[in-house]
Amino acid sequence: MELLTGIFVTPFVQMVTLPDFFLQVLWEGFVGGVLYALIALGFVLIFKASGVFNFAQGIMVVFAGLTLVGLHENGVPAYLALILTIGVMGLLAILVERFVMRPLVNQADIILLMATIGLTIFLIGLGEFIFGGEPKQMITEELGLPTGSTAIEIGSDGLLILQHIDIAAAVIAITMVAILGVFFNKTRIGRALRAVADDHQAALSVGISLNQIWAIVWFAAGIVALATGIMWGARSDVSFALEIIALKALPVLILGGFTSIPGAIVGGLIIGIGEKIGEIYWGPLMGGGIESWLAYMIALIFLLFRPQGLFGEKIIERV
Amino acid sequence: MRNLLIGGLALAAMTAAPLPAQAEDSVYIQLATYRTGPFAGSGIHIANGMADYLNMLNERDGGINGVKIVVEECETGYNTQKGVECYEQAKAKNTLVFNPYSTGITLQVIPKAAVDKIPILSMAYGLSAAADGNTFPWIFNPPMTYWDGATGVLSHIANELGGLDQLKGKKIGYIFLDAGYGREPIPLLEKMAEEYGFEIVQYPVPVKEMQNQSAQWLNVRRDKPDFMVIWGWGAMNPTAVKEAIKIRYPMDRFIGVWWSGGEDDARAGGQDAKGYKTLNFHAVGADFPAIQDVKRLLVDTGKSQTEADRLGENLYNRGLMNSVLMAEAIRTAQEITGKKVITSEDMRVGLENLNITEARLKEIGLEGFMAPIRTSCEQHSGHHSMYVQQWDGEKWVKLTDWFPPMTDKVKPLLAQAAQDYKTSNAPWPDRAEPCVN
């Protein structure tokens, strides 16, 4: 009986009796979801263009963040460091296209996946070699990002605390999604990119440069990785532990679909808010710490009804 | 055939890698370290401290009583599987002692140690019950166990409140790395909660979520614990400090075990982290002759990986103290056995007869660095004293005097836990090693 009350009654009573806290949970879930969505975006971009699940997206987040902070630590002004980091991610995109992707054109997807796993291991080693293994503090203030918090009183003694950096994260994420949406749907390169995703050989036959498209898309994923690195880094610090968090994008992708930008956003928000509510209101019943698997449970439940994900393309293969 | 030949040659080249050169008057010690991975932020400083002290002895004194120490690191990445591989490598190279620097790795190598006759030094970490030397003759965890640390935290909280009886009805939150390390003190905390009538609320942080703790801290905000206790490591610590600040938790009511007290852990919160406390069992700072020798002989000459401005930081000194214990155990073993080049079995005897007095600390250039340490055949931990340090916004400041753990509470529980371990790992061998005191 106590268990049933804990599942079906207590959480809802808490939501009603502590509305400020419920709002705080929703806000934290929203911010977490936005950040998951940013990571998932990087995966989606590359998957759309090449059908490759880019296992290296997580380490790209760390690599971009470390490059930015590392340059600044060596005396480069923050904004110049930001521009140089964008340049480094561009260079990385060109190198990946030239030495990883190009030799593997028309190979099976699993080969490309393995190549990105190899790239992950290489970037971990390179990152540790250049920057060392120590975590670094994100240069939040130097980049002009807001710090501090605003507390909004709710009711007589309720409080909703909004971190300024979280608000900035949400605004940046939404802006990036809008830009990417326009880029994919309204530009010539965007359409070419979608053609490449459908069929490499067909795209080549109509004169689309596969090499160019792949370099562009890896560069775009690098920019997304940099934005993610800055935001996650500001919340904790920039360390190799961030690479593990990138795996949180997996349930987001399962839910939203591997090829959909809106899917990454909606999926990110569902997972972010869902896991927070689950952990806060039902987690204590199971000893807490359920967040890490709850995201997968939510994604799997959605999959029962929509195997291709919320916004994924339905694959129909005729035999 | 050609590929097979090339592969065979490559394999032969790899497996034929030479053992570290050991002169006749030298001993080998492997240091299991993690300079990479999610826990590198904590691991690097400890690794530097451990390596520097031993290398300084080689540079300054030509080793210990003329015996050079061959120091080699093995990277574990705080990964248990890799740690066990390091242990196997250390065994093959006849290490005097194995330092796992991870509770997970320690738990895996405990059953192997007696078979391989390699002492395990898990300084203030690992299995608390291993303090019982009669059950675990090959495992050492001075200067104290996690259970001692847990009573230290409770003692400090009780002092703040005005006595142990004041704990009644209080709510104490326990946020911990959801791994062997973080779970280790839970039995003690639960037992103490039962005895003193306080509530312990657990907030586990999975390793994958170390940098994503907002849910745990939202729960803290809702539950409003009177005090928060942290058993964190690596990236978990600075994230927890930031999250505590974010929910406006009073930092002077937030207290960590000694592994949650790196400078970087508190520094992450900036001035807002002021008031955050942790336990400690050695001094912070480089103002000791032995550390100055490290600076002069290694850091200033480019023979160390330590950056000059990080010399004497908390976790660096932790690693250094670990090597002080090893060096003193070697010296003790040399005295007892009369041998210069000792074996791992002799080292076990040395660790079991540690007696680092204040006079000895002064002699080795570390006066006031730590409390005197003594071990015995029965007592491999010693339940020594600790103190509480507090972050002043820029550095750690000693807040309390040295105080002992509640040994009257811990010892019976440890004896019971050792017995339980023996039963659940039956047939656990009875101690066959003679007590050389």
- What's the Cα-to-Cα distance from B220 to each of A275, B240, B436, rounded to whole Å? 17, 11, 50
Helix (H) or strand (E) holding B140: strand B139-140
What CATH number should be reported for the domain holding residue B199? 3.40.50.2300
B288 and B262 in one domain? no
Could you report the predicted ipTM of this complex, rounded to two decimals? 0.84
Residues B152 and B268 in one domain: yes
B436 falls within a domain? no
- Whether B175 and B263 map to the same domain: the answer is yes
* A249 chain-B contacts, CB cut-off 8 A: none
Residues on chain B touching A240 (C-beta within 8 angstroms): 36-38, 40
Q: Which chain A residues touch B if contact means CB-CB below 8 Å?
A: 14, 18, 21, 24-25, 28, 31-32, 124, 128, 132-135, 137, 149, 161, 163, 232, 235-237, 239-245, 247-248, 275-276, 279-280, 283-284, 287-289, 291-292
CA B388 to each of CA A164, B172, B196, B402: distance values in angstroms, whole numbers, following the listed order = 34, 18, 22, 8
Q: Classify residue A13 by burial, with Cβ atoms within 10 Å: 0-12, 13-18, 19+.
A: exposed
Residue B19 placed within a domain: no
Which of the four pLDDT bands, split at 50, 70 and 90, describes residue A286? confident
Domain boundaries, chain A: 2-305
Q: Is B167 within the bounds of a domain?
A: yes
Question: B227 lies in a domain?
Answer: yes
Question: Which pLDDT tens digit goes with each residue over B205-223?
Answer: 998 889 889 999 999 999 9
Rounded Cα distance, B140 and A121, in Å: 36
* Residue B242 pLDDT > 50: yes
- Classify residue B430: in a domain, yes or no: no
Lowest mean pLDDT among A294-303, B229-238, B251-260, B262-271: A294-303
Supply the pLDDT for residue A232. 87
- Whether residue B312 is contained in a domain is answered as yes
Residue B159 has pLDDT above 80, yes or no: yes
Same domain for B380 and B398, yes or no, is: no
Are B393 and B271 in contact, with CB atoms under 8 Å apart?
yes
Q: Which chain B residue shows the shortest CA-CA distance from A135? A: B41
Band (pLDDT 50/70/90 cuts) for residue A143 is: very high
Flag whether pLDDT at A85 surpasses 90: yes
Enclosing H/E stretch for B71: strand B68-75
pLDDT in tens, B58-90: 999 999 999 999 999 999 999 999 999 999 999
| Residue B70 CB-half CA count within 13 A | 16
Contacts of A25 in chain B (CB under 8 A): 218
Q: Say yes or no: B171 and B219 in one domain.
A: yes
Residues B237 and B247 placed together within one structural domain of the fold: yes
The structural domain count of chain B equals 2
- Shortest CB distance from B178 goes to which of A128, A275, A289? A289
CB B127 within 8 Å of CB B110 = yes
Q: How many interchain CB pairs under 8 A, A with B?
A: 125
Measured in angstroms, the CA of B295 and the nearest CA of chain A are apart by 21
Say whether B227 sits in a helix, a strand or coil: strand
Q: How far is B41 from chain A (nearest CA, A)?
A: 4
Residue B21 is predicted with a pLDDT of 46
Asked if B290 and B340 sit in the same domain, the reply is yes
What's the domain range around B167? 146-280+387-407
Query: Which residue do the tokens 């928000």 mark?
Result: A269
Asked if B97 and B211 sit in the same domain, the reply is no
Q: B83 and B218: one domain?
A: no
Residues B316 and B327 in one domain: yes
Q: Are A1 and A7 within 8 A, CB to CB?
A: no
Same domain, B67 and B187: no
What average pLDDT score do residues B120-148 get?
96
**Using beta carbons and an 8 Å cutoff, which residues of B are at the interface with A?**
34-41, 43-44, 178, 202-212, 214-216, 218-219, 221-222, 234-235, 238-239, 242, 246-248, 264, 267-268
- Say if residues B273 and B267 touch (Cβ distance below 8 Å): yes
Q: What percent of chain B has pLDDT over 90?
A: 88
Contact flag A133-B44 (C-beta cutoff 8 Å): yes
Model confidence at B23: pLDDT above 60: no
For the entire predicted model, the pTM comes to: 0.88
